[in-house]
Chains A and B, each alone.
Chain A
Amino acid sequence: MDPIMLSRIQYALTTIFHFFFVPLSIGLVLLVAIMETLYVVKGKEIYKTMAKFWGKLFLINFAVGVVTGILQEFQFGMNWSEYSRFVGDVFGAPLAVEALLAFFMESTFIGLWIFGWDRLSKKVHLACIWLVFVGTFLSALWILAANSFMQHPVGFEINNGRAEMNDFLALLTNGQLLVEFPHTIFGALMTGAFVVTGISAYKLMKKQDVEIFRKSFNIAIIIGLVSSFGVAFSGHFQAQYLVETQPMKMAASEGTWTTTEDPAPWTVIAAIDPDKQENSGEIKIPGLLSYLSYSKFSGSVQGMKELNAEYQQTYGPGNYIPPVRTTFWSFRIMIAAGGLMIVLALYGTLLAMRRKLEVAGTWFMRLMVFAISLPFIANTSGWIMTEVGRQPWTVFGYMTTEASVSPNVSAGQILFSTIAFTAAYTVLGIVMVYLFVREIKAGPHAVDKPEEHDESADPFGMDGGYSVVTK
């Protein structure tokens, strides 16, 4: 096998797996923070129980996100060393800042939060979970700043055959980041919301801890509603930005081979033939692609054939068309899942507001349980569209994926690591789902153990803290 293909497979697998957990962590930690805030403000134990229950699920999820994240950082150097050499100057900086600004914050305050329930005052303890949220949020910001550079390189010049940063602020005000960050964050909040509503719906159907899960549902569905609209709007802006900066990706995600008529119709589905460079069996909605691209019902959209000819003139001979089928279908799957979530969030909010959750009959509750899968489908297909659609580039217009790979790592080594990581991740995935289901079945009251009096002594005290406790 070819090392480039293997490295790509490994990167895709490990990244998709990692990104299963990250959005859920961001979404869940916000909900836990809101619940604990309600506990501190209203002083009702029920909110503490809620925060502890969802917090437990968050911690299981967070652990997997953290350990799979380390691999992401290492992988750039291990599998993509030429990429790292070329862009380290620019791309490494946000990664370093992410560690310094976000990871330290997350890991320290999560430790304080888990072990500090009876050591910290209520308010300080609450501040800890909010700081964890801020940490996850900042982490997303910096990693997306790095990713945005790959999509739309800014703030650098080519020196000595490498990209060297010359404008840090440009990296942070990258237009790509400004559209990508809100879209991803709303997606993450939506993920947390749909997981919480789905699990709550399941428990409500079973009539277990009704009050806790009704409250959880109500809080989460509002976040779900706001974020699902946020995702849609930010997605729209992102598409428009795409037309300007990465027209090839846009054309591929629309399956547009030749430049469209004006106004451009939107292809709902099509059978795509990448060899003949044509589609068949298309169903189209007139004018919609123009609207998606320009927010008005006029204007044509460039096709892949024309763009490829243009790119060949700029970048030299080669094929600059990404895998069209993957890009086209992942885009549609993302939109379908997102649309479905908007509808569900709207209806769910309506029910919650009318206090008719349990009366609504089980069909909606069942649907919400099934809907737990939707944000994961949307998140994954969204990233597949973004990253596959950028091919053949790692840094758009500057470095191809083929040139990015480590020249000194053999196919055998990568095959070994791919198998090892896949096996480890499979075990991890199974264990984690199993533990999730267990915790959900056990319910929120399983976490409410009586807390014993803490009489531990201070080892830095006068007597070394030793004599007090040994009696």
Chain B
Amino acid sequence: MNRPIRSAWMGGIPLSLSELWFLLIAVLFVGFFFLEGFDFGVGMSTGLIARSDRERRTLINSIGPFWDGNEVWLITAGGAMFAAFPHWYATLFSGFYLPLVVVLLALIGRGVAFEFRSKMKQQRWRKTWDIIIVVSSSLLPFLFGVVFATLMKGLPIDGEMQMRAGFLDIVNPYTVVGGLSVTLLCLVHGLLFASLRTVGDLRERALNMANKLMLPLAAILAVYAVMTYFMTDVFAVRGWALWIMVVLGAVSLGLAAYFVRHKREGWAFGMTGAVIAIAFASVFIGLFPRVMVSSFGSAFDLTVYNAASGAYSLKVMTIVACTLLPFVLGYQIWSYYIFRKRLNEQHHLEY
């Protein structure tokens, strides 16, 4: 189990199947944050830039056809983790019991709120679900940010692969900054998506808000990067690779700010997406080959080797995934293509 099985290749580099699955799970999480990141952001922005029910509806409609599919990236990441790294899945999910309860409640509330809010016209009804949309859309990226920050910092994992984390292991200045960074990043990303799919006043407001948030976003990301340098070992372990990511991230963010200022929301959206992708890719690069860092010492770390499934299972899953992924990506891209047009408030909106 500890001996990697060399049977997959990535651009000429031999890769064991468990390493390949680590890569796939990283891609699924990066995809999840890139995609659901903007629908979290649009969710938050319904409470910030919409001035009427009609505008809120327009914003929700801008993510209407997509958010459910975006969430499946998370479900697939979870399923892939379960199948490819059962110990990672078990340690992580049982160890983060209470935060995940909150995550689940927020996911449940958010999912039904999109469907339920428009079913009745009463003010109180709409307001209730609108609040749930804003709160859950902000809470979720925050909690995910906190959890991913703890993964880099390390957690009390014992020799039985059991994680017994106390409150302060999970909630501390480093993780809170991580949570806030992700939340703010998703908000700006979502505002840009909204500006890409709306017209007129709403688009203006989304762009203005994104413009205003650029500086605070750059500041908190910088603070987070500095804290990561001092409070985790990822720079020590991955040195130059992470420095490249930091530089790439800073450049992308700078370009995003430039494009927002020039009202080129398409390019700006691409750049905030790049920042998200770079940030989460850095987490996985910094961790590798560990999947969970133990604060009790590296002997207790969970790695892609000691947490992985057997060779047969990984092989079957690899074949299945490689067969299905092109189709999945194909029809997802097609659905974005179908709904590429801007939404106008005067249009008939599907409720």
Contacts and interface: CB of A to CB of B under 8 A. Distances in A.
A109 to B, nearest CB: 7
A449 interface: yes
A118 B332 CA distance: 19
B162 A407 contact: yes
Nearest to A114: B350
B65 A114 contact: yes
A96 B69 contact: no
A435 B265 CA distance: 38
B342 interface: yes
Contact of B332 (A104, A162, A438): A104
Nearest to B195: A459
B320 interface: yes
B68 interface: yes
Main SS at interface, chain A:
helix
B75 A115 contact: no
B211 to A, nearest CB: 17
A413 B44 CA distance: 29
What is the interface residue range for chain B against chain A?
Answer: 35 or more
A104 B119 CA distance: 25
Contacts, number: 263
A417 B104 CA distance: 10
A108 B335 contact: yes
B316 A165 contact: yes
Nearest to B164: A408
A460 B95 CA distance: 45
A120 interface: yes
A407 B161 CA distance: 11
B156 to A, nearest CB: 10
A100 B309 contact: no
B309 A458 contact: no
B310 A111 contact: no
Interface string A425-441: 00010010001001100
Instruction: Give 5 nearest A-B pairs by CB, closest first.
Output: A88-B86, A77-B93, A92-B83, A111-B65, A92-B82
Given A59-B115, A457-B341, A459-B341, 5 more contacts: A77-B78, A98-B79, A100-B328, A164-B313, A408-B163
13 contacts: A73-B75, A77-B94, A78-B97, A84-B89, A103-B75, A111-B66, A111-B68, A408-B164, A421-B104, A438-B120, A451-B348, A454-B348, A455-B347
Interface of A: 59-60, 63-64, 66-68, 70-71, 73-74, 76-79, 81-82, 84-85, 87-93, 95-101, 103-105, 107-112, 114-120, 159-160, 162, 164-166, 168, 406-409, 413, 416-417, 420-421, 424, 428, 431, 435, 438-439, 449, 451-452, 454-460, 464-466, 469-470
